Amino acid sequence: MGGTRQAVLVILCVLRTVKAFEMEIIPAERIVAQIGGTLILTCNTTGCASPSFSWRTQMDSPLGGEVSRHGTYSTLTMNPVSIVNSHSYLCTVTCDERGKKEKSVKVELYSFPSDPIIEINPSLVDGESATVICKIPDVYPSDRLEVLLKKDEHVLHEKNFFEDESTNTETKFVTYTYHPMAEDAGKELTCVAKLPIADMDFEPKERTSSQKLNVNFGPQNTVITASPGKSPMEGDSLNLTCVTQSNPPAQIVWRKYLAEESIQHLIKNNVLFIPHVHFNDSGRYICEVINLVTAKTEEATVDIIIQGAPVITKFSIEPSTTVQEGENVSIQCSAESNPPPKIILRRKSDNADIGTYSARSILLPSVMFQNGGDYECVAENKYGNSKREITLNVKYGPKSTVITVFPAALKEGETVTIKCTSSGNPAPVISWKKKKATGESEKISENATITIQNLKSQDLGLYECEAYNQFGKEEKAVELYVPARLEGPDQMIPLIIAFSSVAAVAVPAVAILIYVSRQAKINGSYSLVKALRLKV
Ligand SMILES: *[C@@H]1O[C@H](CO)[C@@H](O)[C@H](O)[C@H]1NC(C)=O
Ligand SMILES: *[C@@H]1O[C@H](CO)[C@@H](O)[C@H](O)[C@H]1NC(C)=O
Ligand SMILES: *[C@@H]1O[C@H](CO)[C@@H](O)[C@H](O)[C@H]1NC(C)=O
Ligand SMILES: *[C@@H]1O[C@H](CO)[C@@H](O)[C@H](O)[C@H]1NC(C)=O
Ligand SMILES: *[C@@H]1O[C@H](CO)[C@@H](O)[C@H](O)[C@H]1NC(C)=O
């Protein structure tokens, strides 16, 4: 038993002593590190209980990292890896009883951390040159950098930096003057950056960036289309559509020239929609398009003529439909249509051939009551006509007040009817008075007609008729008397002659009556008819 234990111990001792003192650096081969990244070199040993480590660069430059000891291995940590780490690193291990060993490893650096950045300045405008810049950040070694600028598959520009003397990372720029065209819009601009170092093992060796080309252009070829057409019928709907070529899309402003040449701002939309057109929608419409990026504007215009039967837009009487005689009156009719309407403005009661005013307005200076009545305006064209009526009401004071006596020759005992008529607007109020022998007047009737039955001598005298309305009054009188020549006693039945006379409103009625009576007597006239002709 004891013999076997010893044998095992011996074997174990042999195994231990057989294990050789070795070292290695991990990673072992060429190391390619990205600047800015982290690199840990491990110097590992076997076969040595407590090795001591030393790290050096071949040039004895600073290590550019942190060394840390962990029993049988040591690490050199470079965080971040920088240009100073571009060296061969040597790890030397000393093991007391077994001497020393060393190994080196070469650290190679590169930097290609991000995709190129494309910048276009200013923004692309058709026909204006722009600068395209492709920026490749933090490249190392830049003397290996190759850059390609492409429009879709077409190479626009190539550049390499072989002349560079790169000692550290550098941001590289490739600039290209580009003349964009409208048809380039939507194509792809690509910047390809390559760092083709075949013997260095890193990925990627090529980086690309693309940008869709946005070529600003226009506005151009601006046109307006009118649906259903440029001459729609009154009441139709009308769409005016403004189409333009522009990138970015243009802003659209619709305007319309008004008669006074002022401008009306309408909507900001490419379709101007009028659900029901009226004649006053005729006119010139302007679509103004603005591209805010290219700072260009363009205009298109369309002349719209609304067709249809006339519409009377105004039929009026100035100063009012109710006027007083003597006022200056104008009657106006206006109508809209296309083709232009023929307008007939006339008084309805007149025959078509008299008093037809084919004008659009009638002037009645110092209007007379005869001008009153219903007026009509007819506007017509090939599509139809329209008609309107208006009443002119001329107010005037009483006039043409007339007294009639029936029968013309009167005898005592007969029935006599005396009637007073007068015109005026509003209709005058008629009242009768009788002048007594004392000279006083007595109101005898509010009726236009007075009837005296069984005529007697006390019915003789002056009968005064007054026609009155708010615009004035007119008086007339008639006298019933026995003419002088017949006043003989031989005359058994006296004849009574009716004698009428007039009094103007402003003049004392009595004076004129007397005058007229006298004159009639002097003339020795018995005739009622003749007497009536003496009206003042
Ligand atoms: C060192 O080497 C031994 C044997 O090859 C291995 O088992 C150990 O993991 C290594 N240590 C390090 C830190 O690499
Ligand atoms: C005008 O446009 C509107 C809506 O956009 C449509 O409903 C209508 O039918 C169009 N009218 C014409 C005459 O084109
Ligand atoms: C155009 O005519 C219509 C109907 O006749 C009317 O309602 C509208 O106010 C008029 N518009 C203008 C601007 O005169
Ligand atoms: C009517 O017009 C005439 C001349 O146009 C003018 O002299 C007169 O004063 C006017 N009359 C009234 C009542 O306005
Ligand atoms: C006026 O006439 C009406 C009817 O015509 C009559 O009733 C009335 O009595 C008359 N008035 C006078 C004062 O004669």
At position 205, the amino acid (one-letter code) is K
The neighbour count for residue 212, using CB atoms within 10 Å, is 9
**Ligand 1 geometric centre to CA of 72 (Å):** 9
Residues in the chain: 536
Higher per-residue pLDDT: 471 or 501: 471
pLDDT one-digit tens code per residue, 210-259: 999 888 888 999 999 999 999 999 999 999 999 999 988 999 988 888 76
SS3 253: strand
At position 28, the amino acid (one-letter code) is A
Higher per-residue pLDDT: 258 or 497: 258
pLDDT higher than 90, residue 422:
yes
Q: In which band, very low, low, confident or very high, does the pLDDT at 89 lie, cut at 50, 70 and 90?
A: very high
Q: Which residues contact 316 (CB under 8 A, 6 or more apart)?
A: 331, 332, 390
Cα pseudo-dihedral 189, 192, 193, 198, rounded to 10: 180
Q: In which band, very low, low, confident or very high, does the pLDDT at 370 lie, cut at 50, 70 and 90?
A: confident
Cβ 68 under 6 angstroms from ligand 1: no
**Structure confidence at residue 529 (pLDDT):** 33
Is the bond into 407 cis (omega within 30 degrees of 0)?
yes
pLDDT higher than 80, residue 482:
no
Spell out a b/e string for 241-264, using b for 16 or more CB atoms within 10 Å of the CB, else e: ebebbbbeebebbbbbeeeeeeee
Higher per-residue pLDDT: 480 or 188: 188
Whole-number Å distance between alpha carbons of 297 and 317: 49
Counting ligands in written order, which one lies closest to the CA of residue 272? 2
pLDDT higher than 80, residue 261:
no
User: In this structure, which residue's CA is closest to atom 10 in ligand 2?
Assistant: 239
Type and span of the H or E element at 519: helix 509-522
Cβ 237 under 6 angstroms from ligand 2: yes
Which atom of ligand 3 is closest in space to residue 280's alpha carbon? 1
Q: Are strands 31-34 and 99-110 parallel, antiparallel or unpaired?
A: parallel
pLDDT higher than 60, residue 486:
no
Residue 140's alpha-carbon distances to 133, 143, 146, 168, 171, in angstroms, are 19, 8, 12, 6, 9
**Ligand 1 geometric centre to CA of 46 (Å):** 8
Cβ 313 under 6 angstroms from ligand 1: no
Mutate to test the pocket of ligand 5, among 429, 431, 442, 447 (most ligand atoms within 8 A of CB): 447
144 within 8 A of 197, measured Cβ to Cβ: yes
Which atom of ligand 2 is closest in space to residue 239's alpha carbon? 1
**Ligand 2 geometric centre to CA of 386 (Å):** 29
pLDDT higher than 60, residue 281:
yes
230 within 8 A of 216, measured Cβ to Cβ: no
Whole-number Å distance between alpha carbons of 205 and 198: 9
SS3 516: helix
Higher per-residue pLDDT: 494 or 342: 342
Q: In which band, very low, low, confident or very high, does the pLDDT at 531 lie, cut at 50, 70 and 90?
A: very low
Instruction: Give the torsion sign (CA, 253, 258, 263, 267).
Output: negative
**Structure confidence at residue 398 (pLDDT):** 92
**Structure confidence at residue 2 (pLDDT):** 44
275 within 8 A of 297, measured Cβ to Cβ: no
pLDDT higher than 90, residue 496:
no
pLDDT higher than 60, residue 502:
no
User: In this structure, which residue's CA is closest to atom 14 in ligand 2?
Assistant: 227
**Ligand 4 geometric centre to CA of 328 (Å):** 6
Counting ligands in written order, which one lies closest to the CA of residue 28? 1
Cβ 121 under 6 angstroms from ligand 3: no
**Quick one: average pLDDT of 509-529?**
33
pLDDT one-digit tens code per residue, 174-200: 999 999 888 888 899 999 999 999 888
Which atom of ligand 2 is closest in space to residue 232's alpha carbon? 13
Is the bond into 340 cis (omega within 30 degrees of 0)?
no
Q: In which band, very low, low, confident or very high, does the pLDDT at 385 lie, cut at 50, 70 and 90?
A: very high
Average the pLDDT over each of 46-55, 255-264, 283-292, 296-305 and give the range with the smallest value.
255-264
**Structure confidence at residue 268 (pLDDT):** 65
Whole-number Å distance between alpha carbons of 493 and 487: 10
Cβ 264 under 6 angstroms from ligand 3: no
